[in-house]
Amino acid sequence: MTPNNFFMLPPAIILFIGAFILPLLPRNLRGYAFLLFPILSLYTIVIFPDQFIFTINFADYQLILFKLDKLSRLFGAIFSIITIIGGIYSFHNKDTGEASAALLYAAGALGVTFAGDYFTLFIFWEIMAIASTYLVWARRTGEANKAGMRYLLVHIFGGGLLLAGILINFVNTGSNVIISLIPNDSLSSWLILLGVSLNAAIPPLHAWLSDAYPKATVTGAVFLSALTTKTAVYVLLRVFSGWEILIWFGVIMALYGVVYAVLANDIREILAYHIISQVGYMVAGAGIGTEMAINGAAAHAFSHILYKALLFMGAGVVLHTTGKSKLTELGGLAKAMPLTLWLYMIGAFSISGFPLFNGFISKSMVVAAAGKSHLDAAMLLLMLASVGTFLHTGLKLPYFTWFSKPLSNITPQKPPINMIVGMALAAILCTLFGVAPSLLYVHLPFSVDYEPYTLYHLVETSQILIFTFIGFWVLRIKLAGEPLIALDTDWFYRKPAAIARKIFVDNVDLIFDWFEEKALSITYALIKFGKNPVELIRQTGEEHFDPDTHRPSTQLLLILILFSFVVFAIVSLIL
């Protein structure tokens, strides 16, 4: 079945419609309806043929709402799949606003993925920013409100950079079609790159991620972990592949995230910093720009969405059932929630690059691409970053959450069964693609000439994992969480926040209050004058209005009327 004989909408529009229909449905049907829309979007992505284009005319411009090739199909499919899994995980959640925001957020991600022109891309880019902000605010705590506002302001700034670059590019070229840009010195290219880099969380434009994701709702964080940064990776692969500067920014990201995870105490903050680290591999792959590197980055984005969502789901179960998310407040949960632990560990094995899990068959492709391109320093540093990944996500977090001696008595509640089912589905896919990598490789943009299960790779990986485990066990006491807040580059907009608020909010409020007070005073005076003008003229000094005293006489009114006629008559004669 193809679009030639069956009418189908672009997948982003399907989710967009779903986001607005959902609140109109009976409450007991909304969870099922949520799942229907990403299933339909996945179906359309599967049946549309390669190179299919869906366009509309807007004013004098042609907007390409849907343009399909192997790269966009891969990203669109995994975005739809994770939305389905996230819908199952959040099935118990009755917050309709949060569900609609999640569908709208996924619609934005799909819209960016299949956009064929920059204007369409920008519209869906901003939809993502607004919808994802709500998933932070929906937790309805003071910290979430503040983090959500910072998140929104940062993304408005990034969207402004992106739009400026798009407009300058349109003026210079006369075209709004998305094409791969060659490395150049044009202002438009660099502005677009900066706007995309902010969403990819490339340091120093990254602190919004580790600030906001730990404060989002339990279910909202699953969608956040999967969509924004990977959508940006898609744009980097589509537009900026081969830009060498991205290689080193990617390497910095891979190391930066694992270093800051040492300082983090919140389990979701640890996972947030590891998003930055893992996205670094994808950014480096985009920078290398070879077919193998692009395949590796795309495969790793696909794998990362699955295992990172699984990790956030595991952390979410802990938070949902205990009300706690700090390492210093957790411990000893292994007996109470063994299934959650083992499902989480599948995600941890995957992100750490264990054989038979999907991280092993994707991350190593990026590292191999760096070696094949004779980027030995980048290859070694990316391998070093994988040590930190296993150290924190695979060892530190599960040890201090599930195995260490708790500092207080914790009695976790039983999680809703749908949360476990969502985790199980993600865990099955992490394992499936790890065991049978060809199921993923066949859908990559270029033909794959890479075999992950070589003896050399297996021995190398085993050595890294074993020595990392030994190092953790020796230093585990020093790696315990500390009840501290580790400020990142967000210090630059957190620290001056009080001063900026005083200048741009409080002082402005004072000025508006002064003008409001004066305007009200004048208004009240005019009202008082209008009620009885004679009272002010006579200056009686009486405090209260007395109709008998202040009522004007008929003689006075007649004199005023005649005087007015005389004045008008004289003016008319003169003019």
pLDDT tens digits along 189-226? 999 999 999 999 999 999 999 999 999 999 999 999 99
Are 35 and 84 in contact, with CB atoms under 8 Å apart? yes
- Residue 430: partners with Cβ closer than 8 Å, 6 or more residues away: 303, 306, 307, 310, 346, 347, 350, 357, 358, 359
Over 349-372, what HEC string results? HHHHCCCCCHHHHHHHHHHHHHHH
Structure-token match 């995600």, residue found? 347
pLDDT for res 107: 97
Residues whose CB is less than 8 angstroms from the CB of residue 534 and which lie 6 or more positions away in sequence, other chains included: 550, 551, 552, 556
Q: Is the pLDDT reported for residue 99 higher than 90?
A: yes
Question: In this predicted structure, what is the pLDDT of residue 415?
Answer: 93
Instruction: Output the six-digit token pair for 57.
Output: 């005319």
Identify the band that residue 478 occupies on the pLDDT scale cut at 50, 70 and 90: confident
Q: Per mean pLDDT, which of 321-325, 431-435, 473-477, 490-494 is the most reliable?
A: 431-435
Q: CA torsion angle for 99, 103, 109, 110 (degrees, to 10)? A: 160
Q: How many residues does the chain have?
A: 575
Record the pTM: 0.85
Whether 351 and 394 have beta carbons less than 8 Å apart is answered as yes
pLDDT digits (tens, 9 = 90+) for 254-265: 999 988 888 888
pLDDT of residue 6: 40
Select from 244, 232, 231, 233 the least CA-distant residue to 290.
244
Top pLDDT among 408 and 523 is at 523
Among the ranges given (427-441, 461-475, 552-566), the one the predictor scored with the smallest mean pLDDT: 552-566
The closest alpha carbon to 135, from 160, 164, 101, 162, belongs to: 101
Confidence tier at 516 by pLDDT (50, 70, 90): confident
Residue type, 545: F
At position 7, the amino acid (one-letter code) is F
Q: Are 108 and 159 spatial neighbours (Cβ–Cβ below 8 Å)?
A: no
pLDDT-based confidence at residue 554 (cuts at 50, 70, 90): low
Of 79 and 528, the one with more pLDDT: 79
Radius of gyration of the chain (CA): 30
The pLDDT of 225-251, averaged and rounded, is 96
Exposed, middle or buried, 157 (CB in 10 Å: 0-12/13-18/19+)? middle
Mean pLDDT over each residue of the chain, to the nearest integer: 89
- Indicate whether 543 pLDDT > 70: no
End-to-end Cα distance, the chain: 84
User: For residue 90, what pLDDT band results from cuts at 50, 70 and 90?
Assistant: very high
CA distances from 461 to 64, 112, 344, 475 (A): 44, 36, 21, 21
Q: How confident is the model at residue 573 (pLDDT cuts 50, 70, 90)?
A: confident
Least confident of 53-67, 455-469, 533-547: 533-547
CA distance 485 to 11: 41
Examine the pLDDT at 405 and tell me if it is beyond 50.
yes
Residues whose CB falls within 8 Å of the CB of residue 508, separated by 6 or more in sequence, listed in order:
none
CB 1 within 8 A of CB 12: no
The residue among 235, 236, 279 whose CA lies nearest residue 382 is 279
Residue that wins the pLDDT comparison between 284 and 448: 284
- Identity at 4, one-letter amino acid code: N
CA 317 to chain centre: 21
pLDDT at 4: 46
Under a CB-based contact definition with an 8 Å cutoff, are residues 328 and 410 in contact? Answer: no
What pLDDT was estimated at residue 569?
Answer: 80
| φ, ψ dihedrals at 110, nearest 5° | -70, -35
Token readout for 510 is: 């004072």
Gap between the Cα atoms of 122 and 132, Å rounded: 15
Question: How many other β-carbons are positioned within 10 Å of the β-carbon of residue 112?
Answer: 30
Q: What's the rounded Cα separation, in Å, for the pair 98 and 103?
A: 9
Distances (CA, A) of 117 to 113, 155, 370, 419, 463: 11, 21, 31, 38, 47
pLDDT exceeds 50 at position 314: yes
| Percent of the chain scoring above 70 in pLDDT | 91
